Every structure is written in structure tokens, then in C-alpha cells.
A and B are shown apart, each in its own frame.
Chain A
Amino acid sequence: QSPPGKPEIHKCRSPDKETFTCWWNPGTDGGLPTNYSLTYSKEGEKTTYECPDYKTSGPNSCFFSKQYTSIWKIYIITVNATNQMGSSSSDPLYVDVTYIVEPEPPRNLTLEVKQLKDKKTYLWVKWSPPTITDVKTGWFTMEYEIRLKPEEAEEWEIHFTGHQTQFKVFDLYPGQKYLVQTRCKPDHGYWSRWSQESSVEMPNDFTLKDTTVWIIVAILSAVICLIMVWAVALKGYSMMTCIFPPVPGPKIKGFDTHLLEKGKSEELLSALGCQDFPPTSDCEDLLVEFLEVDDNEDERLMPSHSKEYPGQGVKPTHLDPDSDSGHGSYDSHSLLSEKCEEPQAYPPTLHIPEITEKPENPEANIPPTVDPQSTNPNFHVDAPKSSTWPLLPGQHMPRSPYHSVADVCKLAGSPVNTLDSFLDKAEENVLKLSKALETGEEEVAEQKGAKSFPSDKQNTPWPLLQEKSPTVYVKPPDYVEIHKVNKDGVLSLFPKQRENNQTEKPGVPETSKEYAKVSGITDNNILVLVPDSRAQNTALLEESAKKAPPSFEADQSEKDLASFTATSSNRRLQLGRLDYLDPTCFMHSFH
């Protein structure tokens, strides 16, 4: 038996920061019943108090309710042990309630497996604060932690979550079972115990389904790709077969032959077409030109001139006869020159035979009309020529006598009365001769004459002379031939025939023969033609002086000599036939 041992205060804890409990360990009891008592005093107070409640918290404990709890004040706590032998006290413990807060674990721990939109699964952990702690009013602020592990594992994985009461855990293995716990701590106290375990099994089917789906998709796509490649390869081969056969196979040969043939034909056609069209056109043009040029140069010249130069076209038509007339003009020049010499030699003799010959002219007129009827072929042959000759003399005859008369008056100075009477007779004779020969031609001549007469009357004598001069130069040979025919029917016919022959022959003999005939006519016409010859001679001289240079004159003289030689032979024949030719021979001798 001894006094009790020294007790020891074990710990003090407050679960809610409103009440707290202290526990102690008793010492030895000394073999006697021992009583324990807890006494405390507060900071700043001298009073000592005893434990308000020894029962609520169990044996060897003291419970301080809200009534006896002060926050932020230090409690000085001591435990005393007492028995019959004596008493002993524990060491004092200084307690600030804010430092001894240890809450209860969180409650309502819930685990839920969720899935995001991208098919990712996670574990959603939720819990609630402990019941007895008043977190809502701010008197308590709590922090939390969670821990989890696979069921078979030993180590926990801890996650601090702060003030929030939920947490998401990712990257967990599918098909695994996980254990989860949570705990809490006030800002200024101790961590609570871990809550009861909750477990959850991650869905294996779900993840497997996902993986299997993806695997299936991959496999199917691979298979499809292979099939496509294979199909393409087959098609490619088929295409190749389509292409290759033409090369070695007979069809290919056939195609080649056909293509070649077609190609050749096309080439030939195209070549022909290309070559033909331009060359054909060119050839045609060339041929046309060639043909036209070679075959019908004259015709081409005429139409070309007419087309290009209508006026000039008309002129050439005139020019062609002009060229012929030019030859005639040369002949007429020679003839006129001869006539000029003749009247100058024998003027008086020429006047007398003219008067005597005039009454014979009408008699001669009748036979010519009969002769043509008897000799139809001859007249047919002569018709075109005769038609030309009469027309021209018809036009020239009425004008020539006037000119001759005027010239005679001027030159001779004879009385006007006699000349007038001669002129009247001459006119009558001319008219009669023209009518008797050809009625149609006469009408034409009359028309032309009628026109000419009024012009002559209206115009002055000098202009008349100027205008008539070229016509006068052309008239003499035609008039001479006509007179011969009229006077001497037989003789006139023969010279005409000879003239025809001469026309076929060179022109030079023609000129000489015409001169001979004219000489005959001149015998009858000397009275009439002498003045014509004079006037013509003067005009010719003037023209020759104006136109002909010395060289041309020399050429003309040479031509005249040639003509003289030819005419000499003709004159011999004529001398045998006609008496009147003799004087002409003399004249030639004079030349």
C-alpha cells in the first residue's frame, strides 16, 4: 500500500471546433482504490475549474461542451490521482482548441465511371463533408485528399483536391478493380482518418469494344484497299491485254494494214486536194491565158482594149480602116501629086473634053444596070467592093465639084455665070449616076448629102475648106474609078476585075492601075477633075510639107519608082485596049 502513481494526460481533440475531449492514462493505484479528477484554468483567469463531464467520452476522459469551450484561449489542464495513502498530479497541459481540431472523415463517397464525348472513360469520385462540421457558415474550412489503388496493389496513389468535394481520375486500366478512400483536414488542425473504402471495376467490355471496333475498321479498310488495288491491277492487266494484242496479233496486223491503207488514201486524197486545188486553179489560169494568147491574140487584143478602154476600143476599129486608109492615103498622095502636075501642063485642053463628055454620061449609066444582071457571079464578087466604092464617092462627089469650082474661079478668074452653069450640070450628072447605079446606096448617100449641105451653107467658106480638106484627100481615087465604070461599060468592068486581081497582089501595082483608069476618066473629067486635081494637089502639097520629113519624102520617091515600073507593064496592056490611055502615058513619061 502506497500513494497512487502519477497520471499522464494522453491527448485532447476537438472534432468541430466547438467542443473538445481530453483523455488521460492512470498511473499505479498503490493497491488501494484511487480516484482521478481533472482540473483546468483558462488563460488570463485565476479561477480553477473541475471537469464538467467525466462520463460522455468514456472512462478516464473529460468532455468540454460548447458551454465550457473557448476558442483562441489556452486551457491549462491537470489530472490528479488520490487514494487513502496520498495523492499525485500530472504535468499540466496547455491546450488551444484551434490547434487540436481533428474532424471526422468525409462521408457519402461515391464512385462513377463516365465517358467523355471522345469515348474516353474516367472515374468520377464524389463525397460530402463530415456532418458535425459546419463548413457552410465559414466557421470551418476544410481541405481534402483521396487515394486509390488497384485491388491487388500495395501502394496507394494520393491526390490532393483542395477545397472541392469531387475529383476526376483518368488513365485507369480497363477491367481492373480499384479501391478509393478520402479524408479531410481543417485549415489549422489535424487530418481526419481515411473514410471507408469504396470499390469500382472499370468496364472491360467498353474499352475492348472500342479497340475491337477500331481494329475491325482498320482491318476492313485494309481489306478494301487491297481489293481495290487488286481490281485496279486486274483492270490494268486487262487494259494492257487490250493494248498488247494489236501489236503481235493478226487483228493488230489487220488494223495496221487498214490504218496504213486509210492513212495512205487520206494522205493521197489530202495531197491531191492540197496539190490539185492551187495547182489546178493556177494551171487553169495559165492554160486559159495560154490558149487565149496563142489562138486568139487579135480577139484578145480587141476585147482587152474594149474592156479596159472603151473609147480606145472604138478608136482601133476606126484605126484599122485608118491604117488601110493610111495605105490608101499614100496611094492617094501619089495620085494627087500626079494630078497636080497634069492640070498645070494642059489646062485649056482639059476644059474642052469635059463639056463634050458630059452628055455621054447618061448613056453610059443605062448599060451598067444591064451588065450586072447578065454577069451575076462577077457582080457577086464585086458587090462588096462596089458597095464600098459607091458609098464613098457618093459622099465625096457632091463636095469635090464645089471645091474644084471655087479653086478654078480663084485661079483662072473666069466669069461667074459660066462656072455656075457648069456646076449645075455637074451636080445633075452626079445625082443621076448615083441613082442609076444603086437605089439603096443612093438613099444612104442622099441622107448623108442632105446633112452635109445644110452644114456647108451655114458654115463659112474657110472653115468648110479646113473641114473638108481631109475628106477631099480621100475622095479622088474612089471618084475616078466610078467615072471610068460609068463612061466605059466594058472598059470600066475590066479595070474593076484587074483591080480585084491587083488587090490580091501587092498594093503598089493597084495604085499604078488606078492612075491609068483615072487618066481615062480625066479625059472625060478633065474639065471636071482638073480643078479637083489642082485643089487636091495644093492640099497634098501642104500636107506633105507639114507631115513628111525629108527621109519620108525619099522613101516615098523610091516607092513611086517601084510603082512606076509595075504600072509601065499595066500601061502597055491598057494602051492596046483604050485610046484615051495615050495621054496618060505621056503624063507618066513626063513624070
Chain B
Amino acid sequence: ISTCAERDATIQHSLEKLLTLTTFMSHVMSIETAKLFTEFNNQYAQGKRYNDRIPGTCHTAFFDTPVNKEQSLGSDPKTLLKLVRSLLNSWTNALNHLVNEISAMQGDPSFLFSKAREIQAKFDELTTGVKTILSMIGERDNDTHLAWSGLSSLQSSNEDVRCFSFYTLIRCLLRDSRKVNTYLEVIKYQIFNQNNC
């Protein structure tokens, strides 16, 4: 109700434009992350059958997120937006470490390095967009996030441990980028197509 009360013509128009742009950016980001994941598997994980191992746990898995369509569409758009903000905030530190450590990988990690930096920039922009949308609907800023604690694994002298850590981190990044994209699409549908107000 508070969200509906905050609406007017100007905010409605600006909000629609901003949300459309943010959604598109998240789409591009997820595609780029998928490319990073594929390239990493081709260059460092071939023959290691990481897919046959119990995957590592993502540091963002502890957020209580909707796990299916019913739960997602049944959530309040404001709640979903705050969840998206938390996810994005949780990756700020992790991406910094990913970019720094991936350049130290054996072989030629230049492609992975540039792609990782590109993804990092897009995450920053996306974070700013989501925060702006939240302020437009009257939600004050909140720096809720979960810390990432896998740095020791990324810096391990054991190559297998180190490599699997990168595999897990990038896989989690891809999953969360797709979550963000799906949640933003649902939010856009709820705000402009479904007259909950």
C-alpha cells in the first residue's frame, strides 16, 4: 500500500524506464557470466570431472530466497528488490578477490581477467540502479550482505583446491546473476502489468 501511495505520473514513468534498463543490464551480465564459466571450464577444469563432485556451497545460499515460480510471483516487489540488493552487495568483496586472484592463475588468464573485470563493472552499475529504484519507492538504504570467506582457498598452494575454489565461486556468481535477472523481470511484471494497487 505504501508503494502504491508513493506512485504518481512522473515517478511512474521514470521508474518504468529505470527498471527496464536495470533488467536489461542484468540480462547482459548473466550472459557474460555464462561465458566466463564456460571459458573457465574449458581452460582449467577439463578432465577433472568437477561436475561429478559435490559442489561447494555458495556464500549467498543462506539468504531465504523464493525457490520456485509460485513463491517468486507471490512475493512483494519491495521484498524482492531488497533481496536483489542484498545479493548484489554480497558480491562486491568476492568479485574484487576474484579479479585479483584470477590474474595469478597458471597459463594465460588474460581473457578470464578482462571478462571478470567487465562483470565487476556491470555489478556496480546494477547495484546503483537497484538502490535508486528502492529510494524512488520510499525504501531507505540498507547495507545488508553476507561476507565471502573463500579467499584462503583461492590462494591455496594446492592447485586442485585452488582451481576447484575458482570453479565454485564462478558457478555461484552465474547462479546469482540469473537469480537477479529473473527476480527483476518478475518485479517489472508485478509493478506495471499486475494492478496490485
B97 within 8 A of A: no
Q: How far is the CB of A92 from chain B (nearest CB, A)?
A: 7
Q: A72-B175, A188-B30 are in contact. Are A92 and B52 (CB under 8 A)?
A: yes
- Please measure, in the bound complex, the distance between the C-alpha atom of A18 and the C-alpha atom of B55, giving whole angstroms: 22
Question: B residues within 8 A CB of A92?
Answer: 52, 54
Q: Mark B100-131, 1 if CB is under 8 A from A, else 0.
A: 00000000000000000000000000000000
One of B9-17, B61-69, B136-144, B156-164 at the interface: B61-69
- Please measure, in the bound complex, the distance between the C-alpha atom of A247 and the C-alpha atom of B193, giving whole angstroms: 97
* Prevailing SS type, chain A contact patch: loop
Question: A residues within 8 A CB of B185?
Answer: 137-139, 141
- Please measure, in the bound complex, the distance between the C-alpha atom of A18 and the C-alpha atom of B67, giving whole angstroms: 10
Tell whether, in the assembled complex, residue A187 and residue B67 are in contact, meaning their CB atoms are under 8 Å apart. no
Q: How many B residues touch A, CB cutoff 8 Å?
A: 30
- Please measure, in the bound complex, the distance between the C-alpha atom of A17 and the C-alpha atom of B181, giving whole angstroms: 14
Q: How many A residues touch B, CB cutoff 8 Å?
A: 25
Q: Mark A112-146, 1 if CB is under 8 A from B, else 0.
A: 00000000000000000000001011110100000
Q: How far is the CB of A104 from chain B (nearest CB, A)?
A: 17
B182 within 8 A of A: yes
Mark out the residues of chain B between 33 and 92 whose CB falls within 8 Å of any chain A CB in the assembled complex: 34, 51-55, 57, 61, 65, 67-70, 72-73
Question: B residues within 8 A CB of A138?
Answer: 182, 184-189
Tell whether, in the assembled complex, residue B30 and residue A73 are in contact, meaning their CB atoms are under 8 Å apart. no
A71 within 8 A of B: yes
Q: Mark B20-33, 1 if CB is under 8 A from A, else 0.
A: 00000001001100
Q: Which of A44, A73, A136, A138 has the most CB of B within 10 A?
A: A138
Task: Name the contact of A94 in the complex, choosing from B51, B65, B68, B70 (C-beta under 8 A).
Answer: B51
Question: B residues within 8 A CB of A43?
Answer: 55, 57, 61
- Please measure, in the bound complex, the distance between the C-alpha atom of A187 and the C-alpha atom of B30, giving whole angstroms: 8
Q: How far is the CB of B23 from chain A (nearest CB, A)?
A: 8
Q: How far is the CB of B182 from chain A (nearest CB, A)?
A: 7
Tell whether, in the assembled complex, residue A70 and residue B68 are in contact, meaning their CB atoms are under 8 Å apart. yes
Question: B residues within 8 A CB of A486?
Answer: none
Task: Name the contact of B68 in the complex, choosing from A69, A187, A188 (C-beta under 8 A).
Answer: A69
Chain B residues proximal to chain A, CB less than 8 Å: 27, 30-31, 34, 51-55, 57, 61, 65, 67-70, 72-73, 175, 178-179, 181-182, 184-189, 193
Task: List 10 additional contacts besides A139-B69, A187-B31; criterion CB under 8 Å.
Answer: A43-B61, A72-B67, A72-B175, A72-B178, A98-B175, A98-B178, A134-B69, A187-B30, A187-B181, A188-B178
